[in-house]
């Protein structure tokens, strides 16, 4: 028996749990509040994609002549699917690696329409290992089954969402309420069976649903409805990303027939108070609430009467993944692109470097809401403590920092702390393409285990980037992506089209910029999405300033995405297919030579961007500027010093050869003996083990106590060689 049951409703990710309940459970541990968590998404997927689950799928009555040819084929091959499904799922869970050889033989898995793309992608398999190729083929196999389920069994099904349409722009609760009044769906049967078993086992007093996305909303309501019908003594609450952004203006009382409470923003204090109210009620005092909607006297009210402040990030505890079936998650590879696969392949421990966004100005973003507006970083020491704790509890050394934008200075400190502790970890995160990401910083991040970053390029147009208040330029993005790529860190860019006042010419020019970034090899992955105006963004709050007119609607339920008309009158939606098709090709390294017109089935103007624009952005380098406040890090103190003598025209010159054995190469330089002794001393005193970092100005002062002209020494050929090989970093 536990006080709280924390639930993530179907569906989010197949490969790793959405972290919200783990964050909350970690906090509850610090308060000695007992809790149990479950990811219903992976539980339902594993029930559905099993021999017994598929048997139920194929047992559903269908009109065979009336269904698509693809569904007819899958139904005809149903025995092959039933025979292979358990083995395939086991392989995707990492438990049966030898099956990869069978899968790659191309006569083991039944194949339907998803495999048709293989003719176009055979080239990519040369860049994929056996395991990755097998994961990709197994993913196509699952997607074929998903297509069959959507067509013939449950049209709302999706691997990372369920009935998402009902949660998107749902200003009224009517449609969702009607759906909840209908019979349970095929997927509901699986979901509610697992929910009932969990309720019987845990016997909670309060069930808390974390609903991050519109695709989790329907299932969250269906589960809450089941609890109200069969366990009326249990209280229900909803929090998470969806209510935080969409339900801030909720007025429809019918919602509270399903949920007793809806909390907003950071969940720790609201949930702590709910737990006190539900588990330890004291009727003598007025109940305290923090950012909580509930019904009082037949009215929806918002209660924020508690004086308790939100907790600092340092005090909320380490995420706790206990109870989740970490070894049961399924790794899939949807397309043959190493960067793109990070979201779906492998299990990642989720952590946050900083609450909120340190930039907090982008005009399309919900910067008025606390989750963006309130910026509070966590110290590097605490972060790496939490990493070590998670490695102990989960056995996983992969980390995804789920920040809005990880701060470069904190990333540097985390990297140094990881190196100081000699940890072996793999990590990636979301960033802004800041000029702070120098070649040296990127190299340091790589050494600490960073394998990838994702960031918002948005519209690759300097006019629009300025309008967005992105704080970056295309030129700067090119240099930063080059720095990451040269360090061996993959880069993914979020791309946007249809921003207010964007012209057709700017869309085409933006695509040309993206084409050049991929052709130069400094961008490895990307994703186009059409601009959406949200209620809590600067564009949504002052649309007239951005040349758009909102379509007004009464808000009784969800309020975030706002329909609008753009004064340009351009139908940006028609660009969607061409932008995404071209990007798919560029991510596979092909068809850069095709004219941009080829991607669209309607006339578009020629690009005005010079074909060497991105190439030329990368030409000017600032390698010989003295920046006195730069922090200097010496990455190795393992140096072999040999005193030697060279003879020239009968004169002898003593010198010292310093040899550095690096992981993948050997670097040797020759220096004056006294300068070499000074450098070796600096290496020993300022290695990564030393928490205090020396600045370039301090290094200059130390040097000039013994020698003249530090700049001549610092920018000399031998020192440049050490910098280029990462022995010395200037951060």
pLDDT of 659 above 90: yes
- The answer to whether the CB of 651 falls within 8 A of the CB of 644 is no
| Domain 4-44+163-315 homologous superfamily, CATH | Cobalamin-binding domain (3.40.50.280)
> CB-based burial of residue 622 (10 Å sphere; 0-12 exposed, 13-18 middle, 19+ buried)?
exposed
pLDDT reported for residue 569: 87
Residue 613: which pLDDT band, with cuts at 50, 70 and 90? very high
pLDDT of 552 above 80: no
Q: Which residues contact 43 (CB under 8 A, 6 or more apart)?
A: 194, 325
| Mean pLDDT (whole number) for 438-449 | 95
Strand partners, 632: 694, 730
pLDDT of 59 above 90: yes
Handedness of CA 512, 515, 519, 522 (dihedral sign): positive
Q: What is the rounded CA–CA span in Å between residue 723 and residue 439?
A: 10
Residue 124: which pLDDT band, with cuts at 50, 70 and 90? low
Closest listed residue to residue 355, CA positions, set 341, 369, 334, 345:
369
Q: What is the rounded CA–CA span in Å between residue 50 and residue 66?
A: 27
Q: Where are the alpha helices (DSSP H) in 261-406?
A: 268-279, 370-373, 380-394
DSSP-derived secondary structure for 430-495: EE---TT--HHHHHHHHHTTEEEEEEEEESS-HHHHHHHT-S--HHHHHHHHHHHHHTT-EEEEEE
Q: Which residue has the tokens 């907790």?
A: 311
- The answer to whether the CB of 40 falls within 8 A of the CB of 223 is yes
| Mean pLDDT (whole number) for 258-271 | 96
Residue 341: which pLDDT band, with cuts at 50, 70 and 90? confident
pLDDT reported for residue 663: 84
pLDDT reported for residue 638: 78
pLDDT reported for residue 58: 97
Q: What is the rounded CA–CA span in Å between residue 333 and residue 107?
A: 20
Q: Which fold has domain 348-617?
A: pyruvate-formate lyase- activating enzyme (3.80.30)
Of the two residues 433 and 281, the one the predictor is more confident about is 433
| Mean pLDDT (whole number) for 114-123 | 68
pLDDT of 624 above 80: no
- Compute CA 469 distance to the chain's CA centroid, rounded to the nearest angstrom: 22
Q: H or E segment at 377?
A: strand 376-377
Q: What percent of the chain has pLDDT over 90?
A: 74
pLDDT of 119 above 80: no
pLDDT of 323 above 80: yes
Query: 119-128 long-range contacts, Cβ below 8 Å, gap at least 24?
Result: 121/335, 121/336, 121/588, 123/588, 123/590, 124/336, 124/337, 124/588, 125/336, 127/336, 128/336
Residue 279: which pLDDT band, with cuts at 50, 70 and 90? confident
Token pair belonging to 549: 């007119």
pLDDT reported for residue 1: 84
pLDDT of 685 above 90: no
| Mean pLDDT (whole number) for 119-135 | 70
298 conformational bin, left if phi > 0, alpha if psi -120 to 50, beta if neither: left
Lowest mean pLDDT among 86-90, 159-163, 249-253, 309-313: 159-163
pTM for the full model? 0.90
DSSP-derived secondary structure for 636-702: ---EEEEEEEEEETTEEEEEEEEEEE-SS-EEEEEE-HHHHHHHHHHHHHTBTT-SSPEEHHHHHHH
Residue 285: which pLDDT band, with cuts at 50, 70 and 90? confident
Q: Which residues contact 194 (CB under 8 A, 6 or more apart)?
A: 38, 40, 43, 44, 47
Residue 519: which pLDDT band, with cuts at 50, 70 and 90? very high
| Mean pLDDT (whole number) for 343-350 | 91
- Residue 307 φ/ψ, nearest 5 degrees: -90, -10
Q: Which residue has the tokens 């990007």?
A: 583
pLDDT reported for residue 167: 67
Token pair belonging to 357: 């966004």
| Mean pLDDT (whole number) for 380-389 | 96
pLDDT reported for residue 515: 97
Q: What is the residue extent of each domain of the chain?
A: 4-44+163-315, 61-152, 348-617, 631-730
């Amino acid at each position: 028996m536990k006080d709280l049951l924390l639930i993530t409703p179907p569906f989010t990710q197949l490969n790793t749990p959405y972290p919200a309940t783990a964050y909350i459970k970690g906090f509850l541990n610090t308060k000695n509040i007992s809790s149990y968590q479950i990811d219903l998404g992976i539980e339902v997927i594993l029930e559905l994609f099993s021999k017994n689950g598929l048997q139920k799928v194929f047992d559903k009555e269908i009109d065979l002549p009336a269904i698509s040819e693809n569904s007819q084929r899958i139904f005809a091959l149903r025995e092959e699917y039933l025979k292979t499904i358990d083995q395939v799922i086991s392989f995707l869970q990492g438990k049966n690696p030898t099956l990869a050889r069978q899968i790659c033989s191309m006569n083991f898995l039944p194949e339907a329409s998803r495999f048709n793309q293989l003719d176009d992608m055979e080239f990519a398999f040369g860049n994929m290992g056996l395991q990755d190729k097998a994961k990709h083929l197994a993913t196509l196999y699952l997607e074929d089954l998903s297509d069959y389920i959507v067509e013939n069994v449950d049209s709302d099904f999706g691997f990372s969402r369920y009935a998402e349409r009902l949660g998107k722009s749902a200003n009224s609760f009517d449609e969702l309420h009607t759906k909840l009044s209908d019979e349970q769906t095929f997927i509901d049967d699986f979901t509610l069976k697992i929910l009932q078993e969990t309720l019987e086992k845990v016997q909670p007093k309060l069930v808390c649903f974390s609903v991050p996305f519109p695709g989790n909303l329907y299932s969250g309501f269906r589960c809450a409805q089941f609890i109200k019908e069969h366990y009326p003594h249990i209280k229900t609450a909803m929090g998470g990303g969806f209510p935080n952004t969409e339900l801030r203006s909720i007025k429809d009382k019918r919602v509270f027939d399903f949920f007793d409470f809806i909390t907003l923003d950071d969940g720790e204090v609201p949930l702590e108070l709910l737990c006190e109210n539900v588990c330890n009620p004291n009727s003598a005092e007025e109940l305290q609430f923090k950012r909580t909607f509930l019904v009082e006297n037949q009215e929806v009210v918002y209660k924020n009467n508690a004086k308790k402040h939100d907790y600092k990030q340092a005090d909320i505890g380490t995420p706790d993944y206990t109870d989740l079936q970490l070894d049961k998650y399924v790794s899939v590879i949807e397309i043959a692109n190493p960067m793109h696969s990070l979201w779906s392949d492998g299990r990642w421990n989720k952590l946050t470097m900083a609450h909120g966004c340190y930039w907090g100005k982008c005009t399309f973003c919900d910067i008025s809401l606390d989750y963006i507006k309130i910026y509070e970083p966590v110290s590097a020491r605490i972060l790496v403590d939490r990493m070590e704790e998670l490695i102990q509890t989960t056995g996983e050394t992969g980390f995804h920092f789920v920040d809005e934008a990880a701060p470069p200075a904190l990333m540097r400190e985390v990297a140094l702390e990881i190196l100081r502790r000699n940890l072996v970890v793999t990590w990636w995160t979301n960033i802004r393409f800041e000029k702070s990401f120098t070649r040296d910083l990127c190299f340091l991040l790589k050494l600490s285990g960073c394998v990838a970053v994702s960031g918002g390029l948005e519209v690759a147009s300097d006019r629009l980037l300025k309008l967005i208040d992105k704080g970056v330029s295309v030129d700067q993005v090119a240099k930063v992506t080059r720095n990451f790529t040269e360090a061996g860190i993959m880069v993914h860019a979020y791309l946007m089209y249809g921003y207010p006042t964007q012209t057709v010419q700017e869309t085409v020019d933006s695509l040309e910029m993206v084409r050049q970034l991929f052709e130069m090899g400094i961008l490895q992955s990307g994703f186009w999405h059409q601009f959406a105006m949200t209620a809590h963004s600067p564009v949504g709050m002052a649309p007239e300033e951005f040349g758009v007119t909102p379509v007004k609607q009464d808000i009784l339920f969800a309020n975030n995405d706002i329909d609008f008309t753009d004064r340009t009158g351009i139908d940006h939606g028609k660009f969607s297919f061409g932008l995404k098709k071209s990007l798919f090709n560029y991510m596979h390294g092909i068809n850069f030579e095709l004219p941009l017109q080829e991607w669209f089935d309607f006339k578009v103007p020629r690009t005005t961007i010079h074909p060497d624009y991105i190439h030329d952005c990368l030409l000017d380098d600032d390698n010989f500027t003295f920046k006195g406040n730069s922090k200097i890090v010496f990455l190795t103190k393992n140096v072999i010093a040999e005193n030697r003598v060279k003879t020239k025209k009968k004169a002898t010159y003593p010198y010292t050869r310093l040899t550095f054995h690096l992981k993948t190469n050997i670097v040797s330089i020759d220096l004056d003996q006294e300068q070499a002794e000074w450098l070796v001393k600096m290496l020993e005193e300022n290695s990564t083990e030393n928490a205090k970092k020396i600045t370039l100005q301090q290094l200059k002062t130390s040097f000039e106590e013994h020698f003249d002209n530090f700049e001549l020494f610092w920018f000399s050929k031998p020192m440049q060689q050490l910098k280029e090989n990462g022995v010395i970093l200037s951060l």
